[in-house]
Amino acid sequence: MWVLFALMASIVNAIYYIGNQNIRLQPSVFMIYRGIVVALMAFPFLFFYDVIGAWQFYVIAVFQGCITAYNDFTTLKANRKYGAETVNSITPMNVGLIFMIWCLIEPVILLKYLESPIKSIMIVLSMCGIVFALMQYRKVKMTKEAFVYLLPIMFLGAMISIFNKTIMAYAADSLYGLCFWRIFVSSLTVGIIHIVVYATRKRPFKVLFEKENLIRVWIFIFMPISMLCRNMAMFGAENPSYVTSIVQTSLLWIMFFNRYVNFIEFKKVCMKMEKKWAFLMLVSVIVLILATN
């Protein structure tokens, strides 16, 4: 069942990306909206579920929000220094890091891998196939300096996925309730941090309430949906790297929409992926699904 939610998250991410590339917001406004607006969208659902009793849940959710906010600032700075394509090219490498970190956190899973060596090899090769195909698409020549500089971004991105999986341990009473509370707490934390930074830079708050910005908040409806699907997938997957691998294949959906959906005017069309890399990604996804179920 986790596979279905991971694929849904992949599709929703693609729709969100396509909408976001057509709706331009200032980075500072975007980051505040991404936190506060998403938290407000999740808030009404909290009345249908009990408050999470474990204090550890809130610690993890707030800490994850802090990491996400810090990663936003780091990524923005890296984009200006090395370019967005170079920064995005390191994202697929998170998969291997997530896989190894989770094996250290849950060493029992290593025994399962050893019990089924053929399946384990298929899992590793399939994830490598997805990552390799994504990196071939980017075709960015990364310097040693850029790679070293971007390592913290890769590590923080991996830790966000690790926390997504870890927090699922508190879903004993209500899985959906936990997901909505996680979205609310983490997003609110992200929003508050960005507002504080925004205020310290003495930027005008009236910009946040301008009509031209407020009419664009509809795009953020896809974020809680994506987060919900990802959390549901994390709950069912043995290793969070499986979910991250499949979610990253949203690139295929993006290219599909750019090519075949004619009723949307795209301001920025994605580069075309060579058929051999698209085929490798599809085969890798299928193998990963088969090997993990």
- The distance between the two most distant Cα atoms of the chain, rounded to a whole number of Å, is 60
Tens of pLDDT along 25-42? 787 888 899 899 999 999
- Report d(CA 220, CA 244) in Å as an integer: 21
Tens of pLDDT along 172-192? 678 888 999 999 999 999 999
Question: Could you give the dihedral angle defined by the CA atoms of residues 269, 216, 199 and 61, in that order, rounded to the nearest 10 degrees?
Answer: -80
- Report d(CA 240, CA 5) in Å as an integer: 13
pLDDT over 80 (residue 264): no
3-state SS, residue 268: coil
Tokens of 147: 């790679």
Question: Residue 208 sits in which domain range?
Answer: 2-291
pLDDT band of residue 98 (cuts 50, 70, 90) is very high
Q: How many folded domains does the chain comprise?
A: 1
| Cα angle value 75/250/263 (rounded, 5°) | 110
Looking at residue 272, its amino acid is K
Among 47-61, 80-94, 170-184, 242-256, whose mean pLDDT is lowest? 80-94
pLDDT over 70 (residue 267): no
Residue 184 · residue 40 · CB < 8 Å: no
Looking at residue 129, its amino acid is G
The mean of the pLDDT values for the chain is 85
For the chain, give the percent of residues with pLDDT over 70: 90
Looking at residue 120, its amino acid is S
What's the pLDDT at 24? 73
